C-alpha cells in the first residue's frame, strides 16, 4: 500500500532516498489518493496566489505553533490539523515551500515530532516547480476530514531545549547554520531580518559554523550525497555516531540542516534546537562565544 | 492617522479572522503598477527590512504625498503591505503621513495570522516613507 520511492539516481545516493522526491515524480502523482501535498511558506499569502494542484496549506505560524506559548501545537491540536487536511497516519505527506524549503523542512520536522511515518520533501521546492512551468492553481482542495489519532509529541529524540544544549556543550558537536556575520556576533539577526533580534550576539560555545546554504544548490535542490559528505564528514569531521545539535535563529534554517544530516546523510542522532539564537541570545547567564572575547560566563558556571 | 488608512485598519478589524488574509491578498493584487519613469535607476529606495527585493519612493506634489512601490509577485505579503499603504496614504498631506503612528497596523488583527515579528515589515516600510519625506524637506517645504 505504501507509496513507492522516487527512483531518481541522484536521490538513490542519499542514506534515505525515501525522504525526497523530484518535481517530475510528483507531477505524475498529483491524483494519487495516498499522497497529500502540503505547501509551507515563509510568505503567508503565497499559497493563495497559486499552488500545486491538490496541495493543502500548512502554515508554520498559524497551524504548527501554539497560539500562546512559544511551543508547537499539542497532540490534540496536531490531530485536529491533520484531520482537517484529510491526512491519516498512513498518508504520504510531500512538503514543499518557498525560500529553499526552509518552512517545508520545518513542517516536516514538526510532523516527525508526532511520529508521522511517511514525510517527504520536494527537492527544489516551490521555486523549481514554478521555474519548470508546471501547473499551479488557486483552487483550494476540499478534503474530507479524517480520524487522526491523538499521538503524544516526542520532544526528546529530535528536539533539543536550552537545558539540553547547556549540557551538550563540550560533549558533542553543535552546528550553527546561520550566516557567518551572525555566528561571529557582528549581527544579532539574519541579513534583511532585523525584526528577529537578540540582545546578545555571538554563538553557543564550541559550535561550528556551517551555513545551511552550503547544503543547497542555487536552484534550491539539495547538493549531491557526495558533496554533502565532503562538507559535513570530510571537512567538519562529523561522523554518523555523533549526537549532533543544530540551531539557527528560530529553528527553520536548522530544520533544513537537520533534514540533511538525518535523512540525506543518515545520522541517527540529530536534534534541532528550535529555541535557537532568539532564545539563547536573550537568555540570562548562558555562555556565549564571540571572536575576540573569552567565553562568558565560563561554561559550567551558567544558570540552568 | 489619515482617514483613508483608518478606514482600512477598521476594515481589517471588522473582517472575520479567517477572511483577513483574503483582504490582504486583495490589497496585494490591487497595488498600482510602477510608472515607467521609475525604470531609471536611483529613483526608488530599497527597503532592506523586507526579505525580498522591495522598493519605495515617496514624492510630494502640492503638499500631497505620492507613493510608488515595486514589489515582486513572489512576495505577496510584502506587496499587500504596500497595497495597504498606497491605498491609505497616497494623496494624504505630508503632515498626516509623518504623524501616522509607526505601529498603526496593530489594530488590524493580523498578528494572529502573520508572525508578529514579520508583521513589523509594515512599520519598516512606513519608516522609509517618512524618512524620504523628511529628506525632501518635510512638511514645511512640500
3-state SS assignment for residue B130: helix
Residue B100 touches chain A, beta carbons under 8 Å: no
Locate the DSSP E strands across chain B: 45-46, 55-61, 64-70
Q: Kindly report the number of other CB atoms within 10 A of residue A260's CB atom.
A: 27
Residue from B12, B32, B3 nearest B114 by CA: B12
Cβ of B77 within 8 Å of Cβ of A46? The answer is: yes
Q: Kindly report the number of other CB atoms within 10 A of residue A103's CB atom.
A: 27
Q: How far is B120 from chain A (nearest CA, A)?
A: 7
**The pLDDT of residue A12:** 98
Cβ of A195 within 8 Å of Cβ of B120? The answer is: yes
Residue A33 touches chain B, beta carbons under 8 Å: no
Q: Which residues of B touch A193 (CB under 8 A)?
A: 51
Residue from A53, A164, A47, B28 nearest A63 by CA: A47
**The pLDDT of residue A304:** 45
Based on C-alpha coordinates, what's the Rg of chain B?
14
pLDDT tier for residue B112 given thresholds of 50, 70 and 90: confident
Residue from A246, A257, A274 nearest A113 by CA: A274
**The pLDDT of residue A137:** 98
- CB contact set of B40 (below 8 Å; sequence gap of 6+): none
First CA to last CA distance, chain A: 48
Cβ of A43 within 8 Å of Cβ of B78? The answer is: yes
Who among A43, A67, A99 is closest to B77 (CB)? A43
Q: Which residue of B has its CA nearest to A70?
A: B115
d(CA A6, CA A12): 8
Q: What is the ipTM of this complex?
A: 0.81
Who among B48, B75, B115 is closest to A61 (CB)? B115
pTM to 2 decimal places: 0.90
Who among A48, A49, A192 is closest to B48 (CB)? A192
Residue B21 touches chain A, beta carbons under 8 Å: yes
Beta bridge partners of B57: B68
Q: Which of A44, A64, A196 to probe the B interface (max B CBs under 10 A)?
A: A44
Cβ of B76 within 8 Å of Cβ of A43? The answer is: yes
Q: Which residue of B has its CA nearest to A49?
A: B76
Is residue A208 within 8 Å of residue A178, measured between CB atoms? no
Residue B17 touches chain A, beta carbons under 8 Å: no
Residue B124 touches chain A, beta carbons under 8 Å: yes
Residue A66 touches chain B, beta carbons under 8 Å: no
Per-residue pLDDT reduced to its tens digit, A111-135: 999 999 999 999 999 999 999 999 9
Tens of pLDDT along chain A (304 residues)?
Answer: 689 999 999 999 999 999 999 999 999 999 999 999 999 999 999 999 999 999 999 999 999 999 899 999 999 999 999 999 999 999 999 999 999 999 999 999 999 999 999 999 999 999 999 999 999 999 999 999 999 999 999 999 999 999 999 999 999 999 999 999 889 998 765 555 555 578 889 999 999 999 999 999 999 999 999 999 999 999 999 999 999 999 999 999 999 999 999 999 999 999 999 999 999 999 999 999 999 888 988 776 544 4
The alpha helices in chain A, defined as continuous H runs, are 9-12, 23-27, 75-84, 102-113, 125-131, 162-168, 180-183, 225-229, 253-259, 276-280
Per-residue pLDDT reduced to its tens digit, A28-51: 999 999 999 999 999 999 999 999
Q: Which residues of A touch B48 (CB under 8 A)?
A: 192, 194
Helix-strand-coil split of chain B, %, nearest 5: 55, 10, 35
Q: How far is B113 from chain A (nearest CA, A)?
A: 6
**The pLDDT of residue B141:** 41
**Pairing of β B64-70 and β B55-61:** antiparallel
Cβ of B49 within 8 Å of Cβ of A192? The answer is: yes
Residues 173-192 of chain A whose Cβ lies under 8 A from any Cβ of chain B:
192
Q: How far is B28 from chain A (nearest CA, A)?
A: 9
Q: Which residue has the cell 522591495?
A: B54
Is residue B8 within 8 Å of residue B84, measured between CB atoms? yes
Is residue A104 within 8 Å of residue A259, measured between CB atoms? no
d(CA A45, CA A131): 19
Amino acid at each position: 500500500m505504501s507509496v513507492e520511492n522516487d527512483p531518481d539516481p541522484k536521490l538513490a545516493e542519499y542514506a534515505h532516498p525515501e525522504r525526497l522526491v523530484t518535481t517530475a515524480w510528483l507531477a505524475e502523482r498529483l491524483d494519487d489518493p495516498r499522497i497529500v501535498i502540503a505547501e509551507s511558506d515563509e510568505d503567508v499569502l503565497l499559497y493563495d496566489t497559486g499552488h500545486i494542484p491538490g496541495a493543502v496549506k500548512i502554515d508554520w505560524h498559524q497551524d504548527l505553533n501554539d497560539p500562546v506559548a512559544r511551543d508547537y501545537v499539542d497532540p490534540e491540536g496536531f490531530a485536529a490539523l491533520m484531520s482537517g487536511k484529510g491526512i491519516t497516519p498512513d498518508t504520504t505527506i510531500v512538503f514543499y515551500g518557498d525560500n529553499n524549503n526552509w518552512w517545508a523542512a520545518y513542517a516536516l520536522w514538526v510532523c516527525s515530532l508526532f511520529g508521522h511515518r511517511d514525510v517527504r520533501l520536494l527537492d527544489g521546492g516551490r521555486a523549481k516547480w514554478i521555474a519548470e512551468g508546471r501547473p499551479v492553481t488557486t483552487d483550494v482542495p476540499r478534503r474530507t476530514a479524517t480520524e487522526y489519532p491523538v499521538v503524544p509529541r516526542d520532544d526528546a529524540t529530535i528536539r533539543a531545549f536550552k537545558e539540553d544544549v547547556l549540557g551538550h556543550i563540550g560533549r558533542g558537536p553543535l552546528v550553527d547554520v546561520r550566516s557567518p556575520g551572525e555566528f561571529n556576533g557582528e549581527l544579532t539577526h539574519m541579513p534583511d531580518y532585523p525584526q528577529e533580534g537578540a540582545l546578545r550576539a555571538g554563538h553557543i560555545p564550541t559550535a561550528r559554523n556551517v551555513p545551511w546554504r552550503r547544503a543547497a544548490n542555487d536552484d534550491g535542490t539539495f547538493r549531491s550525497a557526495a558533496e554533502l559528505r565532503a562538507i559535513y564528514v570530510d571537512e567538519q569531521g562529523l561522523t554518523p555516531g555523533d549526537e549532533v545539535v543544530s540551531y539557527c535563529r528560530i529553528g527553520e534554517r536548522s530544520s533544513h540542516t537537520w533534514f540533511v544530516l538525518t535523512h540525506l546523510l543518515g545520522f541517527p542522532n540529530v536534534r534541532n534546537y528550535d529555541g535557537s539564537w532568539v532564545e539563547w541570545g536573550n537568555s540570562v547567564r548562558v555562555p556565549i562565544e564571540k571572536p575576540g572575547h573569552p567565553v562568558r560566563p565560563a561554561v559550567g558556571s551558567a544558570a540552568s | 492617522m489619515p482617514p483613508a488608512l483608518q478606514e482600512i485598519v477598521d476594515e481589517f478589524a471588522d473582517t472575520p479572522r479567517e477572511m483577513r488574509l483574503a483582504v490582504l491578498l486583495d490589497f496585494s493584487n490591487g497595488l498600482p503598477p510602477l510608472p515607467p519613469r521609475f525604470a531609471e535607476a536611483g529613483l526608488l529606495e530599497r527597503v532592506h527590512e523586507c526579505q525580498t527585493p522591495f522598493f519605495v519612493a515617496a514624492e510630494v506634489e502640492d503638499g500631497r504625498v505620492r507613493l510608488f512601490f515595486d514589489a515582486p509577485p513572489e512576495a505577496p505579503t510584502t506587496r499587500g503591505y504596500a497595497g495597504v499603504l498606497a491605498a491609505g496614504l497616497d494623496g494624504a498631506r505630508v503632515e498626516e503621513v509623518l504623524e501616522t503612528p509607526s505601529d498603526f497596523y496593530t489594530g488590524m488583527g493580523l498578528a494572529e495570522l502573520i508572525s508578529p515579528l514579520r508583521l513589523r515589515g509594515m512599520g519598516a516600510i512606513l519608516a522609509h516613507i517618512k524618512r524620504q519625506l523628511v529628506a525632501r524637506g518635510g512638511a514645511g517645504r512640500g
